Structures are given as C-alpha cells and as structure tokens.
Structure 1
Amino acid sequence: MPGPESIDWDYVVVGSGAGGGTLAARLAEAGMRVFLLEAGGDPRANAARLPDDYDVPAFHAFACENAAMSWNFRVRHYEDEDQQARDWKHEVGQGVLYPRAAALGGCTSHNAMIFMLPHASDWNYIARLTGDLSWRATNMRRYALRVEDCRHRPLWRALRHIGLDPTGHGWHGWLKTEKSIPLTVLGDDGLVRVLRDTARTFTSSLPTPLLSTLRWVRRGLGDPNAWHMRSGSFEGICYTPLATSDRRRIGVRERLLDVAERHPTRLHIEQEALATRVLFDADGGANGVEYLKGARLYRAHAQPSDVPGEPRQVRARREVILCGGAFNTPQLLMLSGIGPAAELIPHGIPVRVDLPGVGRNLQDRYEVAVTHRMREPWEVLQGARFDRDDTLWRHWQEGKAGMYASNGAALGVVQKSSAATRGKAEPDLFCMALLARFEGYFSGFSKWIRDHPDRLTWAVLKAHTQNRAGTVRLKSADPLDMPLVDFHYFEEGSDSSGEDLQAVIEAIRFVRRMTAPLIKSGWIVEELAPGPAAQSDEALADYVRSTAWGHHASCSCPIGNASEGGVLDSTFTVHGVKRLRVVDASVFPRIPGFFVAAPIYMIAEKAAEVVLQHAYRTPLSAN
C-alpha cells in the first residue's frame, strides 16, 4: 500500500500550531488535500503527568516543562555579557530558558490558554503598510468570529437567536472560550479582598469614576473582547477569557483531530517529522519539503535522541506553507537558501534568494513580576499539589469548578502608559494578578507555583514595544541545531527614546498603588520583588533590565516591502519565491495586542481564505 508521501497533496504545511494547524484544518474542510508536518507527537500521549498536564488548565506551567513535549530554547536578552549575567535566570554558556512545545497543536498545547483579541491599530497598520485594505480591522474581525465559540456571555448567547447581540463575539467557531475564574472560588476571603481592593483603588484613580464604571458595565463587566465600534479599545479591569471547554484545555489539537476524523483522505498529520529543507522545482518555485522521521530529533528537545532520523520527502502540487513559529520558520528559510546572503555563505548554504529581512525584526513583549507574600496561603489552593488525585484535582475531575479550572489569573488591568496617552495610542500595559509565584522562565520554574501557595504575583506586561532589534541567526547548517536568538533588550535595541523601559517602571508603580491597601491591612506581609529597597526610577530600571523576560516571540519574517526588511507580501507569499508562504507569529511587522494566540488564529483563517481564492482561480497546470 503506498505511503502518504506518494499521494498527490495540494499543500504541505510545516507546523501544527496556532497558525499551521488552523490553516491546515480549514484547507482540508474546503476540499484540499493537506500533508501536515509536526516535529512532536500527541501531547495527550502516555507519558509522565500526561494527559493531566495538557488537560488541566492550572497545570500549564508543568506542561511547559513536561519532557514529553518540551523544546527548551535558550535565548539571549543582551549581547553584552555583563548585562546578560545580571539576570538570575541566565545559565552560563546557555542563556535564558524560552519554552516552546513540540506537540500536536504547537504551543497551544502548553500555553496559558488566554484568548484576547488584538487592537484595531494592529490590523490597520498592516493595511497602511501594504495598501491591502483586506487587512483593515473592520474586515479582520470576521476571522475572529470564525474562530470563537463564546461560552462566557451566556445571556447574549441566548439572545443572539432573536437578533440581540451587541458584544461582537463569535458563537459558532471551533474554539470554545470560558471565564478564567469560576465564581465558586470567591469564598476565599483573601482573594475577595484582592479583587475588591484592586477594583476600588483602580476606580478611585480615574478622572471620572462613575462614568468610567458605567462604561465598564456597558463594555461587558470586564469582557476584554466585547466589541463596540464607538467605544475604542478596552481599558480597565477585566477577566481573561480562556480557550477551555468544560474547564479543560481545548485548542488546535482538537480541531485537527476532528477534521482528520471527518476527512481522513484530505488531512494527513505526520507526527514526529522534523522539516529540514524546502524543496524547489526547476523554475525556482517551492514544491515540497525534506524532513527527518523520528522522535525527539531536534536538539531543543528536553530529552533529545541520539538516533538519526529517517530522511524523507513530501511534494506539494500547489504550495508549501511554513508555520514553524518565530524561531523555526526563519531557520528553515535560511537552511533552504532564503535569507541574508551574508548569513548563509559562511555556513556553506547556496543562496537561492538574498532576503535580508529573514530572521531580523524579532520582537517580544517585556514582562516583569511584582511578587508578594500573603499573610496566609490561599484558601482556594488548600491541598493543591498540582498532581493527579489531590483534592483540587478530584474536584476538577468531577466537574466541580475550582482553581484547577483556571490558569491562575485572578484578574487583569488594561491601561495606557504616559507615552501611549500622549501619542493617543492603544493601551500598552496589561497587569495580571496571579495566585502563584511566577517570575519568568528557568529550569524548574513550575515548582515555584506548587511550593509557594501564599504568593501573589502581579505580572506586568508591556505591549506594543518599540524595540525591533531582535535577531534569529543560524548556529550552523545542521537542521538539528537550534538557531542563535538575541532579543537585544532595552538600550541594545531600537527604542532610542527609552519608552519601553519607562512604561514598565510606570506599571510597577501602578501595581504598588493597587496593592497598598492590602499591605496596610496586613493581608500582604511583604513585597518580595522588586522589594522595598527599589524605590527610585533608577533602582526600578535596574530591576527591569535585569529580570525582564518574554514569551510571545514574533515578527522575524514580517510582511512588508523587501527593500525595507520585509519578507512577505500581504498574501503571506515569500518575496522572490513562487508557491511558498509563511503563516505564523513571524509574519507580523509589529507585535500585536497583549497575547499572541488569538491574532495568529485570525491570520491563519485569513490565509486559508487567500490560499483558497488563489487556488480557485489558478488551474494546477498554471500554478
């Protein structure tokens, strides 16, 4: 019986994450034959702590460190060795841990499941940059509707049948979304005080508290995705919608398995298959992918194999679409001879297309922690070992709402920094209260969540960062090697005005104002980080430079003019290469919104539409 490689596939898609999985499923539903390559396996396979690490929302940090599906990239934040060494998370000779997932569903298999839509300006910027009006925010909204099946606005879900729906949510998509904190956890007096005092302090700081509260009610009682054309972007206190179904993780994995079951001849998922090179035909167009078949081949894997993979090839009649993410997509392009000639030649890689923008423009959000020790452990975490068969797990397994049904985020606050306010820009600060100790990524970071049930961490996130100086470069021509990643934080980057750093400092001071009543009442015993000694702007700046991290890498193969560093046109096509597209986090010219999963889902739905329109008007003989 012939293998799947011998079948005439319309599309070969590399990567099954938020971009590739969403795209492949939609193409197969439309009647196309799709061969999907995934370097990892099924995240719910029989391995230590699985499937619980995948299924249980509260276990997402443990999923990040689960050796069955972990790719542990090591990155640099600074080229300067002295500055890099000041980050306690840095491991000498390795760098800072940057968790990625090698699994069906990509990083949607271990992420915190937050589903927040980007800002209108993110899409309108691409429309202005390219002149392609289909990127306008008013048009892009419809792709969000194709994705979302909103379950956290039950009243409007019921009323939509009679034509009443002012929310702008999607109700028929493939991704269910729910609230992050079940109401049953509000019996914790400490948690109630955090929510109440934060809301009171935040509201009293507003110029018009009453009007602002009424606006907040109209915007959906903290629903950050409620859409009101005349109200602008959401600001204020919000909850974080999660991609869960009946309090269990749901994502691209479930979408792919559903489509593959319904259309087994159209969608083939080749797991444990590491793409190593794009293949080309005589006229220079992409027509396939070379890959290695085998488990744990890539050296980013938590437990890399020393068994060589089996070389294989798969061909595409129509197109090859790369969806490996901000690190692996530029690496694969460069290994295939597409990228900066000065980067390829030293590694002995023949230059097919000299495209300087590949691996440049790498961006991320800055995040820092403001961590506190509470007077007593959280009542809602009593008995939590973050393992199968503890009390909270049994409640979760029985369908009872509790903290294991949450990702740990109690609430979020969206606001503008001074620079964003002056520039009339979108909100750029997201401060999220976590019932855990979380201060970034390092080996064993998940144990802090289990071992410190009396911590409150405010995670401060700076969005719409000005720094665009990060790079992804080849370490070697060996496709098993990880690339060299350097984000060039703060002064090393392109933010000459220092707006990013100042905004993070402002956010830390804002969090301190919100927590002041809890400190005064004794519910917070002490601030552990940055700590009471860090009061001046200079001391806080030093704390931020030395501890900031990120986990939304993007923009390393951006849409834009090739002469200005762009890699793709507005249809996701690689400049200078026929039949080759990119659809993942790397395509954005500027990092969008606060959380990257939702915008990737949206561009994948848009890409599917673009690809299908091209296919319908282009016979295979002319392709």
Structure 2
Amino acid sequence: MWPFSPSYPEVSVDALHEEYDYIIVGGGTAGCAIANRLSASPNNRVLVVERGPLADTWASRVPLFSSDFASDGSRTIKRTMVPQRELISATGVQGDRVVEAYTGAVLGGTSRINQMLYTRGLPDEYNKWESEAGMKGWGWDVMKDYFLKSEKAEDAVEGVHSQDGVWKNKLHTAFYFRGFFEAVQAAKAIGLPYIPDLNSPTHPPFGCGRLHFTIDEKSQRHSSYHAFLPKDVALARREHLHICTNTIVERLETERTALGELIVTGIALGPREEGKGGRRSVRAKKEVILSAGPFGSPQILMVSGIGPAEHLKELGITVVKDLPAVGSNLQDHFGVSVGFHINMSDSLLSIEKRPWVFFLELIRYLLWGTGLLLVPVLQLAIFTHSKLLDNRGIPSKTEKAFDETLPDIEIMPMAYDSTDSAATGVSIPRTAGTYSFLNVLLSPASRGTVRLSSPDPRAPLVIDPAYLSNPADLRVLRASVKLSLRLRDAMRERGYKMVDATVPKSESDQDLDLWIRRANRTTYHYSSTCRMGRQDDAEWDGGAVVDERLRVYGVGRLRIADSSIFPWVPRTHTQAPSVAVGEKAADMILSDNLV
C-alpha cells in the first residue's frame, strides 16, 4: 500500500531506459488496450509514447464538458483538410469548402473527446474482412471474443455483452427528450422495427434502437485510458511499464540485417513542440507497434522513409521501403443534416438559452449522476440500406427477400443542430428549440489520401478525404435524406410539432444534391490509411500496408494497430472496433514472440 496518493507515474524522456521489449507509438483508443495486455507480465518491458498530455481533470470526465464540441482544445488536435472540390462553402462557392478533422491528442486518444458510443457492427462486417479482404482470422467468430474480452457492461446478456472486462458501457435508462421517443414510433410506422440491443449479432440490417455509451457507474466518461491504463494499473506496473506523454516519435529507426531484411530497431523521440525538450533514441528488442491513429501512423511511416516512393522523393526523404498504400484509401462516414424547430424544453439548446436550466442540470449530475450533462443529445440510431427504400424514401412493402446483410445508411436523431454551421453557413436559427437528423453514409465509395507537406514530423499534413468524389455516394445520400423527411412526416402525424428550418428546397435530385454538397460534416470516423489486406488487391490504391497479423509488408518487427488498419471504414461507430483491434493485436504480438 502506498502511504500517500502519488500522482500518475509518467516518465520523462531523460528517464527512459535505453531499450524496451515493446514500444507502443500512440497511447490512444487502441494503444491503451495494447499497453495493458503487453505489460500484464512483469517480464515484458513496455514503453508507451503519447504526443498529448495526461489531462485527467474532473471536467475531462464529465461527458458534456469533455465531448468534441465542448472540448477546450487541451485534449484535441485539429487538422485543416484541403478544400473539397465537391462541397459548397458558406460563401456559396463549390470547391473552396474546408473541413476540419478532430482527433484526440491525449492519453486515451479520441475515446477522451468523442460521443462515447459503443457499437460493434453486424457479424458480416468482419466476415467480409475475411472473405473479401482475404484476412484469415478476422471473421465474426474470432472478433466477437475480442469485443467481449474488454467489455464490462452494466447489464450482461449472455453471448451479447460481458461483465468480465475492464471497459464499461451502459444504456441511458430512458430517452431524455420526447423527440427520440417520437422518432422510434415514426420509424416503426414506416417499417423500421425497434431493436432492443443494437450490439446483438442477430438483428437485421435495418431498424432503430438505443445506443450504448462508454460511461461508468459514476456517470463519468470511461475512455480507453480509464479502462486500460488507470492510475492504479500504471502504479502497479511502473517498474516495467513506462508512459511518456507530450512527446512525439520523429521517426522509426531501421536497418538491414545480414540477409538484407529491413527491420525496425527503435524510435527517435523529440518534444511535441520544437525547442521545448531534448531528443534521444530508444531501442526495441522485440517490436514497435504503431498506434498513432489514421493520420499519425501513416505520417510516422512516411517521415521514416516507408510509403509511396515518388511522394517521399519529392520531399527529399530517403526511401527505405516503397509501400504505395501508406496514406492512401482514407475513408470517413460523411454526414448530411436536416434540421427543425421544436419546443425549447425538448432541446439541448435549453442549457444555453436558459442559465437556470444549466444550474439545475449541474445539480442533478453532481447529486444523482443524471441529466443533460451526460450528453443525451444523441441516444438513438436508425439504419437501413438504400436498396430497401422506394423513390420517396419509404422502406419497400414488397415480400421480396432483402439480400443485403449490412446497412449503408444511418440516421442519428439529435436534440441539437448537427450541422457544421461555421464552415457551411447552414444552421438552425436559435429562436426556438433545435432538432435534427444527421444522415450518415456508412459505406462510402469515395476515398482520399494523407500526405506529408514536409519531412518535419511537426509540419501539417495534407489531408484530402475527397468527399463525394465518387458519384455513387450521392445516390445513397439522396435516399437517406428522403427517409429522414419521411420520419419527420410520421412524427408530425403523431402530433409532434416540427417546423422546417434547414431542409432541401425540394426532393428533386438537383435540389437534394445541392443540399448534400452544402449541409454536411465529418463524423470523425477516419480509417484505412494503413489498411489491412492483400498487396495485390487492385481495387484499393496500393493494395494494403499490413497483413492479417498486422505486420507491415516488407518491414520486420513493426506492426500497426488502430483504425488505420480497417480494410474499409466499418459500417458502425469506430471506437469499439478500434479497441477490439488492439485486443487482437496484443494476442498476436505475444503469441509471435514466445521463446
């Protein structure tokens, strides 16, 4: 027992050992899980390098105060992406719209700033990783066990949820706003059934249901950091687990063996901000695991000379491995909003407009752990496949068997304005309560890139998600927007007052396409920039970066484990799949390094 309560045992760069068995680059959503599993044995010396701070304050644990739209910036890195050719900006000009990407830059990564959604997706998502991407061992029968391994659900359901893990999730006990209840009734009225548990592997690819959130029994955000690397774990393992924050990996250090094999031998470290610390190198005896996220992982590879050869040569970087897929195949779940005015008391806007409401909600949270500070702005998901919808956006009533096993549309009702108003110029006037449907493209055909602007690892990246670059995405989004308007109609028929505020001029293809190009946003689900797959897969730019064991092609002692390895962006929220990847990666690493 400690005679006092010591602080979190972070280790400075100067105090690091010369060598570790495993070096994990990035203490984010997946990286924390990997670090926990690799350091479970005191025989493994493990180093975690995180570019962000610990930043574990009371406010950072309150769901509302810590979410992406409320973050003070201390836990977030903002990246400005290149102007999008297919989108329209607030000036009304197509081609100059700039979208900003937000990811976590803190121990725990994006799980510290996101909306805390815990969804896994349907079994066929992972079965396709095996059957279509050719990645043996990634099917649902295997992945299910990794989801269950980490999970500590408030309510266990045999075969669906587990209470044996360390990462907590729960359902809100009831809908906080009437608009969610009305949306469920509207969905059922037009043929989309209510699903009691969206994480059940047996539900159909269409319907609606309440969402699980990574919130603990104290009503606090339960991030990957809080689950896998909390203070008690870090203290108990401080002799063999070192956690170094506010530090970046400037490059991977590589060499050729006597047989000509390229291997990673360690990392070169430096301060997050130039001039605010020293530099040094640390060796890896066994492996380096990149878990720096969909932007950080390809960046570290490229500044180290691993990536598209021509791009690296243009920047004067010595190419040690030509790997064209690095930084390619970027995908995101593109969202399009439609918005309405509702009663102020039925909207999260009431906190901003009525100070006494915020005060009462703060008291509710402090005393009982309930209320609007849990961020119940989003509690419900409605999903289907565009092929199931007729020309008006209504699910088909025919008896024909539905042959799609996965959805391509998700509609998220929100008791708030879901537009990116500053960049688009589209926003619901705050003269009454706000309510919106965010139409999310789950299976985008468009793909973008991540490239370097400089060999300097601190320089901004050139990120181009290439939204709507494939016209097939417009067809799906048209169907989704129509469906959201049919939900509105059904809610009105039940007597729920909704006044159109930000909707398309009409439902013609021309007006819908114009709206899709204007009223849109990122959903922060960036993926696939170091994708797992076959190198000879001509369907994807450059094929792939890692094999089925997450080993980088042509580079020994190096793996990648984060959302960048998804063969394509999964048709679900990406937090839980990222942790499952981390769990599986840790098992493979330990298995492959048995002596």
* Structure 2 residue matching 1:562: 3-state secondary structure: coil
Distance 1:428 1:463 in 2: 5
* Structure 2 residue matching 1:178: 3-state secondary structure: strand
* Structure 2 residue matching 1:599: 3-state secondary structure: helix
Deviation at 1:58, TM superposition (A): 2.5
Deviation at 1:235, TM superposition (A): 3.0
The residue aligned with 2:62 is 56
The residue type paired with residue 177 of structure 1 is: N
- CA deviations 1:491-544 (Å, max 9, x no partner) are x24xxxx4322221111111111112444677435222224x233121111111
* Structure 1 residue matching 2:29: 3-state secondary structure: coil
The residue aligned with 1:15 is 26
- Pick closer, same or farther for the CA change 1:7–1:265 going to 2, 3 Å: farther
- Pick closer, same or farther for the CA change 1:2–1:55 going to 2, 3 Å: closer
Distance 2:87 2:349 in 1: 35
Distance 2:247 2:223 in 1: 21
The residue type paired with residue 264 of structure 1 is: R
Deviation at 1:270, TM superposition (A): 0.2
The residue type paired with residue 6 of structure 1 is: H
The residue aligned with 1:457 is 436
The residue aligned with 1:526 is 499
Distance 2:332 2:354 in 1: 29
- Pick closer, same or farther for the CA change 1:393–1:23 going to 2, 3 Å: same
1:330 matches 2:341: no
5 Å matches for 1:567-606? 567-606=545-584
* Structure 2 residue matching 1:310: 3-state secondary structure: coil
5 Å matches for 1:459-538? 459-467=438-446, 469-490=447-468, 492-493=469-470, 498-519=471-492, 523-531=496-504, 533-538=505-510
The residue aligned with 1:70 is 76
The residue aligned with 1:316 is 284
5 Å matches for 1:80-99? 80=85, 83-86=86-89, 95-99=98-102
Provide the aligned length of Structure 1 versus Structure 2: 557
* Structure 2 residue matching 1:11: 3-state secondary structure: strand
5 Å matches for 1:35-434? 35-45=47-57, 51-52=58-59, 54-61=60-67, 65-76=71-82, 78=84, 80=85, 83-86=86-89, 95-129=98-132, 131-151=134-154, 153=155, 157=156, 165-179=157-171, 181-183=172-174, 191-192=177-178, 194-206=179-191, 216=194, 222-228=196-202, 232-233=203-204, 235-246=206-217, 247-254=219-226, 255-257=228-230, 258-283=232-257, 284-294=262-272, 297=273, 307-378=275-346, 382-383=350-351, 390-418=359-387, 424-434=404-414
Distance 2:119 2:45 in 1: 31
- CA deviations 1:58-112 (Å, max 9, x no partner) are 234456641222211111363x3xx445366999989321112211111111000
The residue aligned with 2:396 is none
Unpaired runs of 5+ in structure 2?
A: 1-11, 390-400, 538-542
- Pick closer, same or farther for the CA change 1:236–1:521 going to 2, 3 Å: closer
Q: Is the 2:336–2:440 contact (alpha carbons within 8 Å) kept by the matching residues of 1? A: yes
The residue aligned with 1:161 is none
* Structure 2 residue matching 1:504: 3-state secondary structure: helix
Deviation at 1:266, TM superposition (A): 2.3
Deviation at 1:290, TM superposition (A): 1.0
- Pick closer, same or farther for the CA change 1:139–1:441 going to 2, 3 Å: farther
Deviation at 1:312, TM superposition (A): 2.2
Distance 2:170 2:406 in 1: 25
Distance 1:347 1:85 in 2: 31
Q: Is the 2:182–2:496 contact (alpha carbons within 8 Å) kept by the matching residues of 1? A: no
Distance 1:441 1:37 in 2: 36
Deviation at 1:260, TM superposition (A): 1.2
Of 369-378 and 134-143, deviating more is 369-378
Q: Is the 2:76–2:105 contact (alpha carbons within 8 Å) kept by the matching residues of 1? A: yes
Q: Is the 1:76–1:486 contact (alpha carbons within 8 Å) kept by the matching residues of 2? A: yes
Q: What is the percent sequence identity of the aligned residues? A: 24
The residue type paired with residue 578 of structure 2 is: I
Of the three residues 30, 36, 39, the one matched with 1:25 is 36
Q: Is the 1:198–1:514 contact (alpha carbons within 8 Å) kept by the matching residues of 2? A: yes
Give the CA RMSD over aligned residues: 3.0
Distance 1:377 1:539 in 2: 32
* Structure 1 residue matching 2:161: 3-state secondary structure: coil
The residue aligned with 1:6 is 17
Deviation at 1:406, TM superposition (A): 3.2
- Pick closer, same or farther for the CA change 1:518–1:502 going to 2, 3 Å: same
Deviation at 1:594, TM superposition (A): 1.7
Distance 2:293 2:91 in 1: 27
Deviation at 1:359, TM superposition (A): 0.7
Unpaired runs of 5+ in structure 1?
A: 46-50, 158-164, 298-305
Q: Is the 1:322–1:581 contact (alpha carbons within 8 Å) kept by the matching residues of 2? A: yes
Distance 2:45 2:308 in 1: 33
Distance 1:385 1:281 in 2: 60
The residue type paired with residue 317 of structure 1 is: K
The residue type paired with residue 411 of structure 1 is: L
- CA deviations 1:163-202 (Å, max 9, x no partner) are xx545212111111111x443x65xxxx33x344323332
The residue type paired with residue 588 of structure 2 is: V
* Structure 1 residue matching 2:564: 3-state secondary structure: helix
* Structure 2 residue matching 1:432: 3-state secondary structure: strand
- Pick closer, same or farther for the CA change 1:97–1:170 going to 2, 3 Å: same
Deviation at 1:450, TM superposition (A): 13
- Pick closer, same or farther for the CA change 1:473–1:458 going to 2, 3 Å: same
Q: Is the 1:69–1:103 contact (alpha carbons within 8 Å) kept by the matching residues of 2? A: yes
Distance 1:197 1:433 in 2: 10
Deviation at 1:8, TM superposition (A): 3.3
Distance 1:111 1:482 in 2: 22
Q: Is the 1:238–1:414 contact (alpha carbons within 8 Å) kept by the matching residues of 2? A: no
5 Å matches for 1:543-554? 543-550=515-522, 551-554=524-527
* Structure 2 residue matching 1:524: 3-state secondary structure: coil
The residue type paired with residue 25 of structure 2 is: V
Q: Is the 1:385–1:450 contact (alpha carbons within 8 Å) kept by the matching residues of 2? A: no
More helix by share: 1
Q: Is the 2:351–2:358 contact (alpha carbons within 8 Å) kept by the matching residues of 1? A: no
- Pick closer, same or farther for the CA change 1:329–1:5 going to 2, 3 Å: same
Q: Is the 1:20–1:583 contact (alpha carbons within 8 Å) kept by the matching residues of 2? A: yes
Distance 2:465 2:369 in 1: 42
- Pick closer, same or farther for the CA change 1:383–1:329 going to 2, 3 Å: closer
Deviation at 1:7, TM superposition (A): 4.7
